[in-house]
Chain A
């Protein structure tokens, strides 16, 4: 079975005052379909950069990212957008709701203009209920708490029925109970065939997912975490 995501010799550095910061240094990673990948690492270790490389938001300095065997940056901007839109659900590290749109409008945003089926509202309401905010469809983001906004952003990531979820510290500002609910939601989607890459600095999250494969990011370098439960991969 071919890997859903394959990173080869991925390098990305950012210019800085003295010498360039190496955010991602030669990462090789193979993610199989229906994997639940957890990437641990301190702040500044390059986790966000890696996610945006995988999602085709940032072009690597060198190396390649293949999604289903197609190289991200070999296709044009349009094809990349379509790929992002139809296959990937993004959960941002920081608030990413558009403040002037209602919760419902925010959730519907990923639906491109050519494909807003009549049933999409029903689906949005269903997902909204799954994150426990069924009654907030008409609210504006500013009327919600930080944790609620985060859950809206999570709901938005699922609206397009993506088969890959890239989540950047998705439970960062959630209380423990909501965090548990969200992780349970993730697990349910994962069982239904969605591949997850979840970035966190919370190692308990890693431990809580029974099928999780845990990786460690340190100064741009990705390593399998020693002695942890996890399926070995090439």
Chain B
């Protein structure tokens, strides 16, 4: 019985396939439009997911308060003495100077992030050791030791050697020794990272001793972030004070997650309904109607007529969904979502050297399917149902 049922569905599928093939021009154009819609919406969802994932990771690692010295509107090196002046503010747990910057490797054309920070002082720095795939963190006073991300290992071909050199701004060479590698799983944060002691980073960038790029401040009670930030700003009038909530807000403004997401849902709904309307309008041509009437006369059950239509719609929308998803994936992964570059421009200001890893939450995936495939199924099956339930004698008519 069940075997007969499967055989029947296979026969229907076979008929549906040949029926699709018979109207291939129309079905191909529907397929293209449908895939394009899925492609756009899925790309958008994937990009925003990738960005929000990345933002989440960045924010977790972001210090609660960052102090930068500003001069003529530009960021300048900050004297470590500034940090000592903050020790008096009540509620500050720790002040950690960071020396960091970007290093452009002319040979490979790659951009690295150099971060000079004492791992022992960093908030959550003890967790850093567990992020290592091998080796260890450099210790105080060890000259030229560096922990590198997997991206750096690949670009500089460090698989089998420990020593490599980078150029200082005056084009003299600084030799570094790999003391450890970050694990692949931490890739999005660490791929392009060179982690070393502040003194080493100063040496690389030729920053004077006693200076840092910025100061990271952790507080005892996170509810007092704003209050402490205000006190710091009063104490250090030449400095800009960034708090984690502020940065968070900046991210939100730049990308507008929620409104973006809402408009995507809207967009896909609208698109699906355009397809729906188009398919309805062009859908049941007189010859299709006649075909259904003939099938009815020949004794096809309404359910069989509908099953054919259902399979047709499943094949078209399933294929379109697959095509759209795959091309969206490729678009985001291999072409860095170049269609959305104009929208993402603001992002790259905050996170330069951004690499996108396409991801799609299961919920988004289902939502997208619900907004596109289901209306299409309905739009195909309902008109067929209406005409399959009308009397069949119209096929006999003179």
Contacts and interface: CB of A to CB of B under 8 A. Distances in A.
Interface of A: 48, 51-52, 55, 57-59, 77-78, 81-86, 88, 90, 92-94, 96, 98-101, 105, 109-110, 112-114, 116, 156, 160, 168
A109 B291 CA distance: 11
Interface string B302-337: 111001000000000000000000000000000000
A81 B391 contact: no
A84 B294 contact: no
Nearest to B299: A85
Contacts of B302: 77-78, 81
12 contacts: A48-B398, A51-B396, A52-B393, A57-B297, A81-B296, A82-B299, A84-B297, A85-B300, A94-B398, A98-B291, A109-B298, A113-B304
Given A48-B396, A100-B22, A113-B12, A58 B391 contact: yes
B7 A168 contact: no
A57 B298 contact: no
Interface centre among A81, A88, A160, A168 (most CB of B within 10 A): A81
B269 interface: no
Given A82-B301, A92-B297, A113-B8, 14 more contacts: A52-B396, A57-B392, A57-B393, A81-B302, A85-B299, A90-B298, A92-B396, A94-B396, A94-B397, A96-B395, A98-B291, A112-B299, A112-B301, A116-B11
B8 to A, nearest CB: 4
B15 interface: yes
Interface in B1-32: 4, 7-9, 11-12, 15, 18, 22-23
Of the four ranges (under 10, 10 to 19, 20 to 34, 35 or more), the interface on chain B belongs to 20 to 34
Contact of A88 (B295, B296, B299, B300): B299
A101 B396 CA distance: 19
B398 A81 contact: no
Chain A interface main SS type: loop
B301 A81 contact: yes
Contacts of B295: 109
Nearest to A81: B301
A81 B299 contact: yes
B142 interface: no
Contacts of A92: 294, 297, 395-396
B287 interface: yes
A96 to B, nearest CB: 5
A109 B292 CA distance: 12
